[in-house]
Amino acid sequence: MKILTKELIIESRGNCDIIDITDEVQRILNASNMLEGICNIFSIGSTASVTTIEFEPGLLQDIPKILEKLIPTYSRYHHNDTWGDGNGHAHIRSAIIGTSLNVPFNSGMLMTGTWQQIVLIDFDNKKRTRRVAVQLTGI
């Protein structure tokens, strides 16, 4: 069993910016020469998430719209009262969607569906440089 950890650096616009990172994760897997195992993708920080979606224009509009209804940007959050940074909504969105994702791989390929891409969603209220850990465990 082999373990490999790499880090992606991603520039984000914030405000529910959805970024397809599938190709970057697959490049790390390709370079590892591992054939079978698990890939863990983890957003380092508490105001972004990693998940899968069909990365298409309709969902890129729908997801921010639905999240705004469920967890509005400008509601009153105790986090904002405490820290004054106005990103309480970003912390809640990240906690609900989650900061990590496990994707199995076989024959050196991520086992994602045809219309399933790995995405980073940055919920913070400003642009950020995001760090994403990619850890492979396999043979």
Average pLDDT for 106-124: 98
Q: 3-61, pLDDT tens digit by residue? A: 999 999 999 999 999 999 999 999 999 999 999 999 999 999 999 999 999 999 999 99
What percentage of the chain carries pLDDT values higher than 90?
A: 100
At residue 8, the pLDDT reads: 98
Share of the chain above pLDDT 70, in %: 100
**Strand pairing class (2-12; 100-106):** unpaired
Mean pLDDT value across residues 83-87: 97
Average pLDDT over residues 95-118: 98
Mean pLDDT to the nearest integer, 69-85:
97
pLDDT digits (tens, 9 = 90+) for 32-45: 999 999 999 999 99
Residue 100's pLDDT is 98
CA distance 112 to 84: 40
DSSP 111: -
